[in-house]
Each structure stands twice: as structure tokens, then as C-alpha cells.
Amino acid sequence: MNAIISAPELTSDLAGATPPVLLDIRWQLSVAKAAGEPPFDGRAEYAAGHIPGAVYVDLDQELASAAGARGRHPLPDTARFGAAMRRAGVSADRAVVVYDGGQGWAAARAWWLLRWAGHPDVRVLDGGLPSWEGPLETDVPTPAEGDFTPEPGAVQLLDADGAAALARSGVLFDARAGERYRGEVEPIDRVGGHIPGAVSAPTNENVGTDGRFLPAEELAARFKSLGATEGTGVGVYCGSGVSGAHEVLALAVAGIPAGLYVGSWSEWSADPERPVAVGPDPQ
């Protein structure tokens, strides 16, 4: 099954006998803003207009635990995550489609979490809400309670030691911007740089100017050129396990399974005992 769905395909599925559950995951990374600029409010964006039937899911509150030693977006409590998904109408035997405002990171986080928790049929709207050409609504739906119960472990989850080991034995992709990988700037975490041995692979290079993923064959060629050859273990990390999920999604589109280090750089760099590499080279 393809991990992404186009807007025309979604329109067709929504008109079917068993339409997918729609989840709206609009979110933006919180960084320092210009004076007087209000913070991004995904719920307000949702209230102003969303795909008919979509239920809003808060990434910070429902797709992550509180920030701390395990990173800025550690895994959510499994029971709490399951309850949030059931409130949104998610059931084990019904397809789910997730979307966000177009960047794709937040939707990919929801996609990855649901896959990790054992849901068999989850797709991301390619291009997000900007790709949708149908109507929007402001009514907030009240879906019937779903029956989804998380069973974690369906896809690979990496911890700090596992990520470090994979950087030596396989290929570990760093999905952040190149300047953060190189340690030239670090706007959020304690220190800049990257996990020793990790390869820079910015996730924004997996999409075109319209925000949609590049064709599968182009993605496969890109990742192969970066070391993801047949038989090689592949892992991904980013700042806090959000944009990294988008890279795992791109790898899935290319037909390459990959693990996600959810704690990512926000967990790794918080421990001064862990090594940090800087510059353009992996080591």
C-alpha cells in the first residue's frame, strides 16, 4: 500500500461506501518570532476551514509527551495516544488519512505513530491542505468512538544507542537543514552539530516546489546515492522526531524501510557526555 494519497484519490475515497477517517494535524515548529507576531495556532487554523469531516489532532498534546530529557517531542503515553485516536474516530479496520498545512512534517508524525502503534492502513495527503481542491467546512464533527488500541512495535523505533550503532553499521540520515547538521547554527537545542557518522539528508529535498513528494524512483536514487543501498540498515533522526518522520515517509515512498530515532538531536545533544561532530563530513 502506498504511504501517500493524492487529493483526487482522497476525493474518490471520501465518496466511497467506507470513507477514511480524516485527521487534521496542522502544526508549526515553535521558534523565536518577531516582536508582535502571534504564535501559530493549529486549532484556530482548523476552525477557519478544514476538509469536511476532518478531526483536529494536537501534535504537542496528543502525539507527544511533555518535553524533557527524552527530547522535545518524546513518544506519547500509549494509553493517552490510543484514547485520543479513538475520540477522533480511529478504528483498526478503517483507513486513516492525515494531512497538515502543507509542510508534511506533522502529518508524517501522525502517520508514523499510527503505523508504529499497529494501524495497518494510514496514508498522508501528498501536498497537504494546499493540494485539496474541494470544499472546506467550519463545522466541527463529532465522530463515533473508534476502537483502535495501540500495539507498539509494528515499525522500527531507535533509541540513542541504536542510532549511534546504526551510524556505524548502516546509514543514519540527519533530516535537519544542512547548516544545523554542520553546526553552523542551532536555534533550538543546546549545541549544534550531528551524531558522529550520520549523513546529512535534509528532508526538504524530498519534495518539489509544490510540497509534494518527488517521484518514487527519484527518491530511491537520492537515498541510494547517500548510502541506502540494498541490505543496508537505515535510520533517521531530526530535531525532535517530527521532520524525521517525514524523511521516513519519503523512504517508504521509495520502498526503503527505515527506523526513526524519536528523541533525535533534542535528546542526543541534551547529554553533554554524548559525542558531537561538526562540519560537512559524517565523522
| Alpha-carbon span 199 to 157, nearest angstrom | 19
Residue 252 CA, distance from chain mean position: 12
Count of CB atoms situated within 10 Å of the CB of 279? 12
Q: Which three cell numbers stand for residue 32?
A: 523565536
Please say if 238 is a catalytic residue. yes
Q: Report residue 79 as a C-alpha cell.
A: 494509553
**Backbone dihedral angles phi then psi of residue 98, each to the nearest 5 degrees:** -115, 150
Q: Left, alpha or beta for 165 (phi > 0: left; psi -120 to 50: alpha)?
A: alpha
CA distance 54 to 23: 5
Cell numbers for 277, please give them: 561532530
Question: For the purposes of burial, counting CB atoms within 10 Å of the CB of 107, is it exposed (0-12), middle (13-18) or buried (19 or more)?
Answer: buried
Q: Which is catalytic among the residues 122, 167, 238, 256?
A: 238
Catalytic residues: 238
